[in-house]
């Protein structure tokens, strides 16, 4: 399975710098052995998708509403993201779970909406520092997986320990390998053969300096990259470290 390197641009970038970054990534992407996805802010998504049309770089959203349309001021539906050029969407990111109080049940409804609209859902799970210190990380992640995924889930999982996001800290390689094995087992139990095929990304302070080691671990199907995805050269260096 090819690894997927996904850039989560979060709430960063105006039109000019977003297009410049997209072009720089697209110029190098054909030489990469992995799949590449960028997730820009919604305001520039259509323009970035236009710039990347005909290239190997895919475009995704960072969130969508659970409903197809309606009176939801400020929200975007999965179909709107698709219409703007997205083929994927990040859902249940810890920043949305924390800043917007998103429960796993809501995330599951969003995942179903994304799948119905034909978007690839990238579902984020991960424990907080307190949960980790309490020895509860596997239990927390398993319950997030159980409650965030619909029974017919087909998409990507991103394991992102909350305490590793934007902090420069990462779990040990052994911890990442153990958690990815645990997630794989949970997916297989829940989804059968389908669960054995899904990519499980690692996210949280992935940098050019640690990417090769993280991406070489068993069951790591790629990376979800935040801060380092804002510098095209750094994002490309991470993608170049993809092991397969
Ligand atoms: P980071 O963010 O790479 O800046 O730690 C990762 C993420 O939030 O997806």
State which of 8, 126, 158 you would mutate to test the pocket of ligand 1, scoring each by most atoms of that ligand within 8 A of its C-beta.
Answer: 8
The alpha carbon of 179 is separated from its chain's Cα centroid by a whole number of angstroms, namely 16
Q: How far apart are CA 140 and CA 76, in angstroms?
A: 29
Closest atom of ligand 1 to 229 CA is: 3
**Ligand 1 centroid to 105 CA: how many Å?**
23
Contact (Cβ atoms closer than 8 angstroms) between residue 53 and residue 83 = no
Q: Where residue 148 falls among pLDDT bands split at 50, 70, 90?
A: very high
**CA-CA distances (angstroms) from residue 55 to 2, 5, 30, 148?**
17, 15, 8, 32
Instruction: Classify residue 16 by burial, with Cβ atoms within 10 Å: 0-12, 13-18, 19+.
Output: exposed
Does the pLDDT of residue 134 top 80, yes or no? yes
pLDDT of residue 243: 75
Active site residue 93: yes
What is the average per-residue pLDDT within 178-187? 98
Q: Which residues line ligand 1 (CB under 6 A)?
A: 8, 160, 165-166, 203-206, 224-228
* Angle, alpha carbons 207-32-58 (nearest 5°): 85
**Which residue minimizes the CA distance to atom 6 of ligand 1?**
226
Q: Whose CA is nearest to atom 2 of ligand 1?
A: 226
| Integer Cα distance of 128 and 225 in angstroms | 18
Segment 117-131 shows an average pLDDT of 98
Q: What is the percentage of the chain residues whose pLDDT exceeds 70?
A: 100
Q: Tell me how far apart the alpha carbons of residues 89 and 114 are, in angstroms, rounded to a whole number.
A: 7
Q: 74: closest CA among 63, 89, 83, 84?
A: 63
On the question of pLDDT at 189 being above 90, the answer is: yes
* DSSP H/E element including 125: strand 120-125
Q: Which atom of ligand 1 is nearest to the CA of 227?
A: 4
Q: Which of 93, 95, 127, 131 is catalytic?
A: 93
Which ligand 1 atom is the nearest neighbour of the CA of 207? 3
Whose tokens are 């895919």? That residue is 58
Question: Is 35 in contact with 7 (CB distance < 8 Å)?
Answer: no
pLDDT tens figures, 214-231: 999 999 999 999 999 999
Residue 180 appears among annotated catalytic residues:
no
């Amino acid at each position: 399975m090819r690894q997927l390197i996904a850039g989560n641009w979060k709430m960063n970038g105006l039109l000019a710098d977003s297009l410049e970054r997209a072009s720089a990534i697209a110029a190098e992407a054909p030489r990469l052995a992995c799949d590449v996805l960028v997730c820009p802010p919604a305001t520039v998504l259509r323009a970035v998708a236009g710039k990347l049309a005909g290239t190997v770089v895919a475009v995704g959203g960072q969130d969508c509403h659970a409903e197809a349309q309606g009176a939801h001021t400020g929200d975007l539906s999965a179909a709107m993201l698709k219409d703007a050029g997205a083929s994927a969407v990040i859902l249940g990111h810890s920043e949305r779970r924390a800043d917007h109080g998103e429960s796993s049940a809501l995330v599951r409804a969003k995942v179903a909406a994304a799948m119905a609209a034909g978007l690839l859902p990238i579902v984020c799970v991960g424990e907080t520092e307190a949960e980790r210190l309490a020895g509860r990380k596997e239990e927390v992640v398993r319950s997030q997986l159980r409650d965030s995924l619909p029974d017919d889930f087909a998409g990507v999982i991103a394991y992102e320990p909350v305490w590793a996001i934007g902090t420069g800290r990462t779990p040990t390689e052994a911890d990442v390998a153990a958690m990815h094995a645990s997630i794989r087992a949970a997916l297989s139990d829940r989804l059968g053969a389908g669960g054995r095929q899904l990519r499980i990304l690692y996210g949280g302070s992935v940098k050019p300096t640690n990417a090769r080691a993280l991406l070489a671990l068993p069951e790591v199907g790629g990376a979800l990259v935040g801060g380092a995805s804002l510098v095209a050269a750094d994002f490309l260096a991470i993608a170049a470290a993809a092991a397969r």
